[in-house]
Amino acid sequence: MGHMPVRRSTALPRASRSITIVMTIDGLPVTVTRKPIKNMYLRVARGTGEVTVSAPLRMRDGQIAEFVRSRQNWIAQQIARAQTRTLDGGCDSHCGDGASGVGGGQGEGTEEPHFLGWTDERKQQAAHMINAALPGLLAKWGPVIGRTPTHISLRIMSSRWGSCTPKTGRIRLNLQLGLMDPKFLESVLVHEMTHLWNTRGHGPEFQQRMDMYQPNWRQLKRELNRQPIL
């Protein structure tokens, strides 16, 4: 995806207050729908590998192209996965169109938000959302799991959603969870609180506990693992 001119095709008919065009960005066809939203979202359909962008009405072509180019490695990974599924004979019940992304979309595939870096405002927003949710979550899950953390810290993580130290009872959560669907924060917290039992890795004992506490944890984990860590 080298830097080549951006081309537009004619707009496709859509519902009122939305405009859809097809842009060719460095040889990649991208279906772009402008609508009355505040954020920009990039989506790759898991079944076909089709790339789509939802953007605010006033967003310029150049800004959209820059966003797509900035995520070219991620896009290539998602397209490769879609092609692999096709070669393997199609999707099973878990790889159909139905993932949700940051911002609460009811997606048609893996979705990534327009998010090019942390700002002080975004950090404060994420921390506020997590800190507001934690008391209720701890009150809900502490009695169920039988363990509560001695301390929870928030930090920007590049490769994981959370971690814990069973000996000290300390849990660390990825700050990005405060910008995502609340179900992911809850799922990660339950996961880390379960580790406070000092279970070894994610073996049978850990899985048995998770099955008991949160029967849909595997589905939540699959959804979470489709989200990019920013």
Residue 230 has pLDDT above 70, yes or no: no
* pTM of the predicted structure, to 2 decimals: 0.56
Residue 92 has pLDDT above 80, yes or no: no
Going by pLDDT thresholds of 50, 70 and 90, the confidence category of residue 93 is very low
pLDDT for residue 112:
54
* More confident of the two residues 181 and 110: 181
* More confident of the two residues 216 and 102: 216
Domains defined for the chain, CATH in brackets: 6-113 (no CATH), 120-225 (3.30.2010.10)
Which of 39-53, 128-142, 143-157 is predicted with the least confidence, judged by mean pLDDT? 39-53
pLDDT for residue 132:
96
Which of 97-111, 136-150, 181-195 is predicted with the least confidence, judged by mean pLDDT? 97-111
First-residue to last-residue Cα distance in the chain: 21
In this structure, are strands 51-56 and 28-35 parallel, antiparallel, or unpaired? parallel
The one-character DSSP state at 201 is: T
pLDDT for residue 91:
41
The one-character DSSP state at 166 is: T
d(CA 123, CA 190): 23
Q: In the chain, what's the furthest Cα-to-Cα distance?
A: 61
Q: What is the mean pLDDT of the chain?
A: 81
Please calculate the CA angle 131-163-125 and round it to the nearest 5 degrees: 25
Of all residues in the chain, the percent with pLDDT exceeding 70 is 78
* More confident of the two residues 181 and 187: 187
pLDDT for residue 120:
86
Contacts of the segment 68-76: beta carbons below 8 A, 24+ positions apart? 68/25, 68/28, 68/30, 68/42, 69/1, 69/3, 69/25, 69/26, 70/116, 71/42, 71/112, 72/1, 72/26, 74/112, 74/228, 75/1, 75/28, 75/42, 75/44, 75/51, 76/1
pLDDT for residue 31:
94
Cβ atoms within 10 Å of 55's Cβ, excluding its own: 22
Residue 103 has pLDDT above 60, yes or no: no
Residue 106 has pLDDT above 80, yes or no: no
